[in-house]
Amino acid sequence: MHIHQTSESSTAITTGSCLCGQVRFAIHGELAGIQVCHCSQCRKAQGGPLATNIPVNQEQIRWIAGRDQLRHFESSPGKLRAFCPQCGSPVYSQRSSLAGVLRIRAGLLDEQVKTSLDSHQYVASHASWWPVPDDGLPRHEEAIVPASAQAPH
């Protein structure tokens, strides 16, 4: 899983917002692949069978509106989930061990989104009523942890 740095030649800009529009942002540069997370926490946080997350470097994100309105819920130690307090849209999650990366919820992005699915993670935890599709994508039993974020033993 690579997170592309914004290059000088890249002019790609992807915009997104929460449901009510109070929170707006733009992502500069290419988008990484979308990680489909089947963990039980994402299920509750999204109100659906899974979450679709794009890891984005903080410096790629320009907040247009509402950043100071965001609320954060620490769903497990060091894991924050940011949401809009007005409409409840999940906006991103962030791990303290990888604080420079926000995992933006792909459903907030304005169409058309120029990336595609990367992989499934936490497949062992998938909802009983939502079989993981046989789509040929890599499947991970747990989270994908980039090499750069792995804590030394």
Which residues ranging from 14 to 73 are in contact with Zn ion (CB under 5 A)? 18, 20, 22, 37, 39, 42
Tell me which stretch binds Zn ion (CB under 5 A): 8-16, 85-93, 102-110, 125-133: 85-93
Q: Which of 61, 84, 91, 108 binds Zn ion (CB under 5 A)?
A: 84
As measured in angstroms, the least distance from the Cβ of 27 to Zn ion is 18
As measured in angstroms, the least distance from the Cβ of 32 to Zn ion is 16
The answer to whether residues 79 and 87 touch, using CB atoms and an 8 Å cutoff, is no
Burial readout 83-120 (b: 16 or more C-beta within 10 A, e: otherwise): bbeeeebbbbbbbeebeebbbbbbbbbeeeeeeebbbb
Interface residue list for Zn ion (CB under 5 A): 18, 20, 22, 37, 39, 42, 84, 86-87
